[in-house]
Structure 1
Amino acid sequence: MAEDYDYDLFTIGAGSGGVRASRVAASHGARVAAAEEFRVGGTCVIRGCVPKKMLVYGSMFAEELGHAQNLGWTIEGKSFGWATLRDFVNADVDRLEGLYGQTLANHEVEVFAERATITGPHSVRLSSGREVTAKYILVATGARPAMPQFPGVEHCISSNEVFHLARQPQCLMVVGGGYIAMEFAGIFNALGSEVTVVNRTDRILRSYDEQIVDRMLHIAMGRGIDFRMHSQIKSVEKDADGCLQVDLGGARPVAVDQILIATGRSPNTEGLGLENAAIELGKGGEIPVDEYNRTSCDSIYAVGDVTDRVQLTPVAIREGHAFADTVFGGKPRTIDYSAIPSAVFSQPPLAGVGLTEAEARRVHGDVKVYSSDFRPMKNIFSEHPERGLYKMIVDETSEKILGIHMIGPEAPEILQVAAVAVKAGLTKQAFDDTVALHPSMAEELVLLK
């Protein structure tokens, strides 16, 4: 690498994509430094999917304990303490942050715990005032919660703050119709909070199969979540006792003690100095890149949620790895964004891979839909008659599987394996030829009619 620069690579942002790119580049022999102004680990590890999934696990105990008696268990004096769960989750986040930092240290990546801004195609300035040069710069600053503008929005919180609440809200309003909104609505509903979901349209989880989403909505309503569709917050006023009065445009305001805004995420590009390298942003503030993660400036690359592609942690990790292999490993490669599995850890969870039924009909015309609508065995112990639903969308001519979508207990765990079949281009016959594993929920995938 050129000795004219302080480093071969300077990474701005030490989240999942930035950490992977930095350590792989270092393993290829590059001299690497990274700047992180908050905490090493990024959104997923610090205040996103990892701690959120822990809260999901904690909240699921409420339902399990609810029908424990039918399983022969007598549990006396049961109670829930939000502070205990919150503190345990945050302690494990601290542990994971340490592991991420150790990974960088083990690969001799120098970490600056401060903000860095771009001053040119090969230079950055740290908040301490130090100027650093690098042959290549990688932007991996991720995204942040997008907050709408209305009077009283300062009384609301985002997903960043929800992990640190001093008390569990008794009445929670969740604003949004995406996966973050649905997951936190499910968590606090299961923990006993009164939950209202406010969404500006009549659709939630737009990227998922409509039939699966409809089933989730029906189950969520049956569990007591109140959905206010075609609604938007006009204003919020805080009473002297801390109660929040929410104006939704109706005759009377809705009183809650916490409002969680989950209406999307915005790329962290503000004040990053990209204009100093003649890099223009997209209409949403994202950084446009080519298939090799390169921006319009040849020496600056970007990966993860700060770009205009798929906002998922595993995708950011793959992009970071591909960047390092391409630029420093002599192995140019790109990412295939087709058939990426995803899940919503609602209660019950839903998951999908490939085309939804609507997308498949729009793209391929004639398709076959196979499904199984069943009551999972574990649900017979519950008072809720909730049913699972698995769907397989198949091209009518070739019988190639175009998509698999499901809702039910452990759906994401089952879907991950099924996603391999979709990615590999298998046909439904391959599933039909596979012997069922009985009794299991997963066997429904090889028994679809």
Structure 2
Amino acid sequence: MKTYDYTIIGSGPSVYRFLVGMQGSKKRILVVESDNFGGICPNAGCEPKIFLEGAIKTALTSRDLLNKGIESPAKLNWNDLILEKKRVFSPVSTNNQHAYEELGADTVRGTASFVDEHTIKVDETLITSDNFIIATGLKPRPMNIPGSHLFLTSDDFFNMEDLPATVAIIGSGYVGMEIATILSAAGSNVTMLQRSDRPLRDFDSRHVDMLIKNMKENLGIDFRFNTQVTKAEKTSNGILVTTDNGQNLEFSTVINATGRIPNINALNLENTKVDFDKDGVIVDKYLRTTASNIYAIGDVIKKDIPRLTLTAQFEGAYLSAYLLGKKKSEIHYPVIGKVTFTFPQLASTGVDIDQARLDPNLTVKDIDISKGDFLYAGTNDYNAHLSLVYDQNQRIIAASEISQTASDDINIFIPIIALDIDQNLWNEKMVMSFPSLAFKLRNIL
């Protein structure tokens, strides 16, 4: 029975950053993966989603410019798009496994479960380790209603070869809204079924309202709020769903995008001292669990910050430095940017803007950044808006943007907030390229 210094259960982006940090340490490390090496993001998550967004954004922009220089807007071919996605991403798991081995780790494919705090069983093989790192991420949240087995998950969506004529998406968080954008742009008739009264609660509600209006008017998406699906049944034409307000709705396909939950059921954590709840594995400020030799990183841990690939990577890098003695302080998260790849995009960073609007000590400035600007006019992006939050010293502490370029633009504000940059310093030390939102900041900061 082989023994390791560190055995990592899971292989997502946090694990890659951990292994990079452990290079040269001569530690014996094993990575155990039950599915695809690299985790959800590069295999069935953010990376293939952003890949698809390239074609989607191009097609939708061409439609917006119809009779404004474009005679025939681009038409998406779903089958070709999915085939190209598969070509690009089919090697990802194998490539990640090889990358981890090149970084010095052993790898094994199988389902890990704890026997005790120093032993796991991978399928039928026992493995001992001085320390363990739980990095199993999240999995789709099941819907406990009759007929829910008929629904696709967000993971299934990325391998959906045939474009459905009609599709219901249950849930309207990041993933649900992004899938709705992709499918409607490709030609599906999309209905959003949301049990609460608003989607995307992590973003500025004013910008979310603008996004919904745009998705209704320009993409034809039907939003049904305060609507909960109670059952589903197979029909000759697809799936019939029944809602709590008495509606019976039939669709070709139904996608469960109600969120994700910690992927810990198979671990048998009951055989350890690791505490956990429905929100994830509980860790301290050093990412150590309640078992002294077991750590956790990535989306599987219970935390208040956004569960994003980049925050998971930050945790992996921190933990390697901490375990090697290069860091002795608690983990302190940096300023974080959030993006939803809808059309237009939403992005934000800093404090909650809805809460800031209620705080008399803060000032919120709402700016129509497309007004009179040829940069946005060139892509017909006439609804581009930016909201900034200033503290009592007139320093920016938050930003939110809705535009076709919000995912890039928001990165301007992360260093401004993190480094406490004011207008004088910005104008004295930087001349930004023209035209860009960064160039405009000389008059906004």
Contact 1:360 1:402 in 2 (8 A): no
Distance 1:351-1:429 versus aligned 2 partners, 3 A rule? farther
User: Is 1:54 matched with 2:48?
Assistant: no
Q: Output the CA distance in 1 between the equivalents of 2:356 and 2:94.
A: 44
Contact 1:117 1:273 in 2 (8 A): yes
| Residue type of the alignment partner of 1:32 | I
Q: Output the CA distance in 2 between the equivalents of 1:104 and 1:82.
A: 33
Which residue of 2 is the match for residue 81 of structure 1? 77
Which residue of 1 is the match for residue 257 of structure 2? 262
Choose which of 163, 170, 192 in structure 1 pairs with 2:187: 192
User: Is 1:146 matched with 2:146?
Assistant: no
- Unaligned 5+ segments in structure 2 are none
User: Is 1:44 matched with 2:41?
Assistant: yes
Structure 1 window deviating more from structure 2 (271-280 vs 23-32): it is 23-32
User: Is 1:407 matched with 2:402?
Assistant: yes
Which residue of 1 is the match for residue 348 of structure 2? 352
Which residue of 1 is the match for residue 19 of structure 2? 22
Deviation (angstroms), 1:38: 0.3
| Residue type of the alignment partner of 1:197 | M
Choose which of 222, 227, 231 in structure 2 pairs with 1:226: 222
Contact 1:390 1:445 in 2 (8 A): no
1:392-440 deviation digits (Å, cap 9, x = unpaired): 1001x21121101101011111111321111112335555766665433
Distance 1:280-1:250 versus aligned 2 partners, 3 A rule? closer
Which residue of 1 is the match for residue 281 of structure 2? 287
Q: Output the CA distance in 2 between the equivalents of 1:14 and 1:420.
A: 30
Contact 2:169 2:191 in 1 (8 A): yes
User: Is 1:66 matched with 2:38?
Assistant: no
Normalising by structure 2, we get a TM-score of 0.91
- Unaligned 5+ segments in structure 1 are none
Deviation (angstroms), 1:379: 5.5
Distance 1:31-1:439 versus aligned 2 partners, 3 A rule? same
Deviation (angstroms), 1:305: 0.7
Which residue of 2 is the match for residue 335 of structure 1? 331
Deviation (angstroms), 1:360: 2.8
Q: Output the CA distance in 1 between the equivalents of 2:52 and 2:201.
A: 24
Q: Output the CA distance in 2 between the equivalents of 1:427 and 1:378.
A: 25
Which residue of 2 is the match for residue 8 of structure 1? 5
SS of match in other structure, 2:82: helix
| Residue type of the alignment partner of 1:238 | K
Normalising by structure 1, we get a TM-score of 0.91
Which residue of 2 is the match for residue 95 of structure 1? 91
SS of match in other structure, 1:27: coil
Contact 1:350 1:411 in 2 (8 A): yes
Q: Output the CA distance in 1 between the equivalents of 2:338 and 2:24.
A: 30
Distance 1:187-1:261 versus aligned 2 partners, 3 A rule? same
Contact 2:357 2:363 in 1 (8 A): no
User: Is 1:298 matched with 2:292?
Assistant: yes
1:66-92 deviation digits (Å, cap 9, x = unpaired): 25654645559x643212111211222
Percentage identity across aligned positions? 25
Which residue of 1 is the match for residue 313 of structure 2? 317
User: Is 1:33 matched with 2:30?
Assistant: yes
Distance 1:234-1:425 versus aligned 2 partners, 3 A rule? same
What number of residue pairs does the alignment pair up? 439
Q: Output the CA distance in 1 between the equivalents of 2:155 and 2:36.
A: 13
Contact 2:135 2:297 in 1 (8 A): yes
Superposed, which structure 2 residues align to 1:95-174 within 5 Å? 95-127=91-123, 129-174=124-169
Which residue of 2 is the match for residue 392 of structure 1? 388
Q: Output the CA distance in 2 between the equivalents of 1:32 and 1:385.
A: 50
Q: Output the CA distance in 1 between the equivalents of 2:89 and 2:24.
A: 26
Contact 1:269 1:285 in 2 (8 A): no
SS of match in other structure, 1:164: coil
